[in-house]
Amino acid sequence: MSITDRRSLLQAAAAIPLVASAATTALAQTPAEPAKPAPSKDVTRKLAHYIVNAKYEDLPDNVRKEGIRTLLNWVGVAIGGSRHQTVDIAVSALAPFSGPAQASLFGRRERFDIMNAAFINGVSSHIFDYDDTHLKTIIHPAGPVASAILALSEMQPVSGKEFLNALVLGVETECRIGNSVYPNHYDVGWHITGTAGVFGSAAAVGKLMNLNEQQMVWAIGLAASQPVGLRESFGSMNKSFNPGRAAANGIFAATLASKNFTSSDSMIEAKRGWANTISTKQDYNEILGDLGKRYEAALNTYKPFACGIVMHPAIDAAIQLRNENKLTADQIERVDLKVHPLVLELTGKKTPREGLEGKFSIYHAVAVALVEGAGGEKQFSDRAVTDPTIVALRSKVMPVITPGIDPAQVDMTIVLKDGRTLHRYIAHAIGSVEVPMTDKQLETKFADLADGIISAEAARRVIDACWNVESLPSAAEIAKMSVST
């Protein structure tokens, strides 16, 4: 009997209990099913085929380069978040259950089995909401993928080129699948970094485990069975949990598939598979269209400031004017900004009293950017929010809702006490696709995040290792260099 026949029979049998319960629940009146589009053929299999066969040499230069930037940015935020209470709790809770000490924790001394290490590093990298963004879907793609394959690379030999290829393929898989169900899936409440992220992890880990096509199909199916994260988690540690658990779930899926633990052959597109169950929209062309020709992974962006994107244009303008004019706070009479309504709606807090509140205050953000010329975690600390100079300057910041200004723009005028006015209009903030962070800016962000966690020399070595990942004999070097000593 063919496998297909067997599976059809099993599926029919599994449906039996549902039917038989009709006797007790009048199931005879099964609710009419809403019309669904005809299922596309072989989406899962074609995606698996692509992942299994895509080689490092196939990657265009710009895609490789963006993959390296994605890696560097991720390593920096993973180190940066490593001492947060959230990570302390995760380490303490999971230590009694950890497997062998297979993989490093970025910025820390402990070692865990690869699944728990991937979880903890994934959590760490997302804590400050300072990671990367696939702007169309708001997926933060690197967390679920990089944490998984860096951990794996400490357990089996993975060259830098193989690693980079897997990272790109994982991000690509994650973003394409996210695109296929966007925006409906996110809008209804799923934390898409977690729900799409598990596919990215499974794909990247499965690639490095050399799964064959059938095994990769099953890995995708097992990943699809383990979505992670709801948007209600925002505001709690659960938000950071989501990309971390997605990373671990992807390793779990690929590991089982590597031993021929079977799943459906069409889990993404089947009538009661992933896309139809978890979303009211399914566009499979987003997954399969131009595979290997068009790369979502090339569109990744990196947060330049450790706060929500709606404040980034104003911070950008403030830093530019400060630096160009060597401004000090005492020179400033007033700061007028023309902003979109969302800036006041989401970040309108006038008197933040502690660091976290500062992330919701355009008044603080502009003031600290003018005083300190930066918008990193340090600028959203209790220290910064209570600094008398910054507090004083805050009250001179005057945002005004102005038609024609969209959320990615700002029009800033600084009025100086000597009568001069300084003007800056931002059409696209630093960190956008139009104005990406430069390599140097990524290095500065990294160094700032690593400060106090690993030495400046160690940070420099990790940065260099990331830039040179393709020539590393073993990608594990990056993880090993990123621990605390």
- Indicate whether 35 belongs to the interface with its own copies (CB under 8 A): no
127 within 8 A of 81, measured Cβ to Cβ: yes
Question: Which of 47, 55, 349, 261 lies closest to 174, judged by CA?
Answer: 47
Q: How far apart are CA 230 and CA 242, in angstroms?
A: 8
366 within 8 A of 318, measured Cβ to Cβ: yes
485 within 8 A of 462, measured Cβ to Cβ: no
- Indicate whether 273 belongs to the interface with its own copies (CB under 8 A): yes
- Residue 232 backbone phi and psi in degrees, to 5: -60, -15
- Indicate whether 210 belongs to the interface with its own copies (CB under 8 A): no
Q: Given candidates 2, 12, 330, 419, which one binds its own copies under the rule CB under 8 A? A: 12
Alpha helix ranges (H) inside 182-304: 184-188, 192-208, 213-224, 238-258, 274-278, 285-288
Q: Given candidates 42, 283, 336, 357, which one binds its own copies under the rule CB under 8 A? A: 357
Name the amino acid, one letter, at 343. Answer: V
What is the length of the chain? 485
- Angle of the 439-450 helix axis to the 61-80 helix axis, nearest 10: 20
**Sequence-ordered list of residues with C-beta below 8 angstroms from that of 93, at least 6 positions apart, any chain:** none
Give the footprint of its own copies on residues 423-452 (CB under 8 A). Answer: 428, 432-433
- Give whichever of 13 and 35 is closer to its own copies, judged by the CB atom: 13
The region of 166-174, 261-269, 285-293, 455-463 touching its own copies under the rule CB under 8 A is 261-269
Give the footprint of its own copies on residues 381-400 (CB under 8 A). Answer: none
- Give whichever of 13 and 38 is closer to its own copies, judged by the CB atom: 13
Q: Given candidates 261, 320, 389, 398, which one binds its own copies under the rule CB under 8 A? A: 261
The least CB distance from residue 15 to its own copies, in Å, is 6
Q: How far is CA 453 from CA 20, 55, 92, 140, 317, in A?
A: 60, 36, 19, 23, 30
- Give whichever of 165 and 409 is closer to its own copies, judged by the CB atom: 409
- Indicate whether 8 belongs to the interface with its own copies (CB under 8 A): yes
The number of residues that bind its own copies (CB under 8 A) is: 119
Give the footprint of its own copies on residues 289-348 (CB under 8 A). Answer: 307-312, 342, 345-347
The least CB distance from residue 50 to its own copies, in Å, is 21
Convert residues 165-204 into a mask of x (bound to its own copies by CB under 8 A) and - (unbound): ------------------xx-xxxxxx--x----------
Q: Given candidates 82, 104, 133, 153, which one binds its own copies under the rule CB under 8 A? A: 133
Strand partners, 94: none
Residue 277 CB neighbour total at 10 angstroms: 12
- Give whichever of 160 and 313 is closer to its own copies, judged by the CB atom: 313
Q: How far is CA 287 from CA 221, 312, 464, in A?
A: 15, 31, 34
The least CB distance from residue 96 to its own copies, in Å, is 8
Rg (CA), the chain: 24
The least CB distance from residue 477 to its own copies, in Å, is 22
- Indicate whether 98 belongs to the interface with its own copies (CB under 8 A): yes
- Indicate whether 238 belongs to the interface with its own copies (CB under 8 A): yes
